[in-house]
Amino acid sequence: MIGHVDGQTAERAPAPGQGQQPTLRRAVGIWGSYAWGYADVGADVYVAVGLVALYAEGTLPLAFMAAGIVYVIVGFAYTELAAAYPVAGGSQYYTLRGLGDIWGFLSGWALMLDFTIDVSLFAVGTAGYLNFFLAHLLPWITHPLPVGGEALILIGILIYLNIRGIRESSWLNEVFSAIHMGLETILLMVGFALAFDPAMLHTQFTAAQNLPTLHNFLYGISVAIVSYIGLESISQVAQETVRPATVIPRTSITLILTVLVFALGFSVLGIGTIGWHQLALHQSDAIAAVAARLPLIGPIAAPFTAALAAMLIYASTNTGIMGASRIAWSMSHFDLLPAWFREIHPRFRTPMRTILVFSGVSVAQVVLASFTANAMDTLANLYAFGALSGYILVLISLIRLRVTDPYTPRRWKTPFNLRVRPAHKHAIELPLLVMFGILGNFAILAIVVVTHPLGRIFGPLWILCGLGIYLWHRRRSKMPMWRSLPREWEQEQIAVLTAAEEWESLRDYRAALARRDAEKAHHVEDVS
C-alpha cells in the first residue's frame, strides 16, 4: 500500500499474505495455540504465589481473586480481538486500528516492557526451581549472581530456538504444557483430599497476625497480576495460527478458565496446607514446598513438581521472547518503528533482529537485578505498569472498533452488550463488561503507581524513551509525528482474512461492506 503524507510518498510493507516479502509461517494448531498461552500464563502462579504471600499474607486467595476478575475481562477482550483481527502484534495492532498510530505505538511499547521483564523474571524463576536440586550440592548457587548467570544461559538457548522457527519453539511449549497440566491437576486433587486443613485456612483468614496492612494487601493485588499477565500470547501467534477465527476462541476461553482455577486453587491449598509464612519463605519454589507436604506422595511429588515447574516457567520465558519480537515486528510493519526491525530471516522466516534486540533488553534486566538483594522482587516491582497501561488501551480500542468497524465478523464477542442503532447507521453493540474492565485496570494501575517505587519510576521512563524513538523515526522518515498515516483498513482486513484462509468471515465481511454501501446510496437518494 502507498500512503501520501504531507506531500511525501511513504511506502508501506505489503499487507499480511501479500507482496514479495517473506511472511510469518502458519504452523500453530489448536493445541499449539493453547500451549503458547498456557506456557506463559500457566507458569505465572509458580512465580507469583510466594511473592504475593509475602505481602497479602493470610488474604492471599483474596488478592488472586481481585486480580482474577480483571484478568477474565481482559482475556475476553483479547479473545474477541484476536479472532477478528488475526495478525501478529496483538494489542499494538488493535490499538493502532482503534485509536491511531501514536496510541498503537504506546500500547505495543508498554507491553514490550512486560514481555522483556517476562523473559528476565521467568528465567530467574526457572533457575530458582532448578536450584531445588542443586542447592544441596552447591549451596552458593542460590546467591543472586550465580542465579543470574544461570538465567543468562537459559535465555541464550531460547534465543537460538526462536531464531530457528515458531514450529520448534512451539513444540517446546506444547510438550511442557501437556505434562504440567496433568501434574497440577493431581497436586490439587491429592492436596485437597489428604493435606488441606480447613481450620488452618480459617486461622489464616481471621487471626490478626495473619492479616496484612491495607498498603501490603493492595501491593499483593498488584503483584498477583503477575499470575495472569501473558493473555496476549495467543494473539501474538494469531498470524501464525491455522484457522484463527475458529481456533482462538476455543483455546483462549479454555485458557482463561484453566489458569483462574489453578491460581485460586494453589493459593487456597497453600495457605490451608503450609500457611503464608512458609509460602513467603519459599518464594523461589513455593509450589514445590506445598507438594513436599502432601501425604504418601510428598517425597516424590516435591522434586517432580520442581522439575516440571522449571520446564513450564522456562516455556513462559520462551513466550516472552516470542511476544516482544512479534510486537516489534508488527510495529515496524506499520511504520511505528524503523523498517530495520521488519526484516525476516530468509531461511527460518522469523524476525531475527527483533528477537536479538529485545532479548538483549532482558539480558540487561537480569544483570542489573542480580546485584539487588532479591532479584525476583525487583523484577516483579517493574512488571505490572506496562501490562496494565497496554490493557487499558486495548479495552478502549475494543469499544472504539465496535463503533468504527462494526462490519468485521466477530465469531466470538465479549458478553453483556448493549445494542444501539444510531439514525441511518449500522447497529452497534457497546460492551458493558469491557467498560467495567477499564475501571478495574485503572484502579490496579493506581495501586501500582502508589505502591511500586521502581515501577512508578522506570515504567514512565520506558514510555518516554519509546516515545522519543517513535518521534525520531517519524521525523527522519518524513512522516507525521503526532497524526496517523492514512491506511486502507478495509483492504487490510480483506488481506488478513485471505491470508488466514477464513473464507466464511471474508464472505460475511464483503457482504457487510456491500450492505453499508447500498444503505449509503439509498440515503443519498432520499436526501436528494
| β-bridge mates for residue 411, sequence order | none
Whether the Cβ atoms of residue 428 and residue 401 lie closer than 8 Å to each other: no
Distance between CA atoms of 13 and 492, rounded to whole angstroms?
11
Q: If you average pLDDT over each of 67-76, 308-317, 341-350, which comes out highest?
A: 67-76
Average pLDDT over residues 161-170: 66
Distance between CA atoms of 97 and 448, rounded to whole angstroms?
28
Distance between CA atoms of 188 and 182, rounded to whole angstroms?
10
Average pLDDT over residues 495-505: 86
Distance between CA atoms of 187 and 290, rounded to whole angstroms?
9
pLDDT of res. 344: 79
On the CB side of 110, CA atoms within 13 Å amount to 26
Confidence of residue 32 (pLDDT cuts 50, 70, 90): low
pLDDT of res. 8: 33
pLDDT digits (tens, 9 = 90+) for 278-308: 998 888 788 888 998 888 888 888 888 888 8
Confidence of residue 128 (pLDDT cuts 50, 70, 90): confident
pLDDT of res. 456: 85
| Residue in 36, 41, 46 with CA at minimum distance from that of residue 72 | 41
Confidence of residue 2 (pLDDT cuts 50, 70, 90): very low
Q: What percent of the chain has pLDDT over 70?
A: 87
Average pLDDT over the chain reads 83
pTM: 0.83
pLDDT of res. 528: 59
The label of the residue with cell 476455543 reads 250
The burial class, CB within 10 Å (0-12 / 13-18 / 19+), for 159 is: buried
101-105, 253-257, 432-436, 518-522: segment of lowest average pLDDT = 518-522
Confidence of residue 29 (pLDDT cuts 50, 70, 90): low
pLDDT digits (tens, 9 = 90+) for 108-119: 899 888 888 888
Confidence of residue 7 (pLDDT cuts 50, 70, 90): very low
38-47, 162-171, 179-188: segment of lowest average pLDDT = 162-171
Confidence of residue 19 (pLDDT cuts 50, 70, 90): very low
Confidence of residue 6 (pLDDT cuts 50, 70, 90): very low
Domains annotated for the chain, with CATH where assigned, are: 2-503 (1.20.1740.10)
| Residue in 298, 384, 354, 415 with CA at minimum distance from that of residue 163 | 354
Distance between CA atoms of 309 and 315, rounded to whole angstroms?
10
> What is the full DSSP assignment across 170-206?
HHHHHHHHHHHHHHHHHHHHHIIIII--HHHHHHHHH
Confidence of residue 273 (pLDDT cuts 50, 70, 90): very high
Backbone phi and psi for residue 338, each to the nearest 5 degrees, phi listed first: -55, 150
**Which residues have a Cβ under 8 Å from the Cβ of 361 and sit 6 or more positions away?**
116, 324
pLDDT of res. 398: 96
Confidence of residue 465 (pLDDT cuts 50, 70, 90): very high
Confidence of residue 44 (pLDDT cuts 50, 70, 90): confident
pLDDT of res. 26: 54
pLDDT digits (tens, 9 = 90+) for 76-113: 999 899 889 988 667 888 999 999 999 999 998 998 88
pLDDT of 11 strictly over 50? no
Confidence of residue 12 (pLDDT cuts 50, 70, 90): very low
Report which of residues 246 and 450 the model is more confident about: 450
Average pLDDT over residues 470-479: 94
pLDDT of res. 400: 95
Phi-psi bin for 213: left (phi > 0), alpha (psi -120 to 50), beta? beta
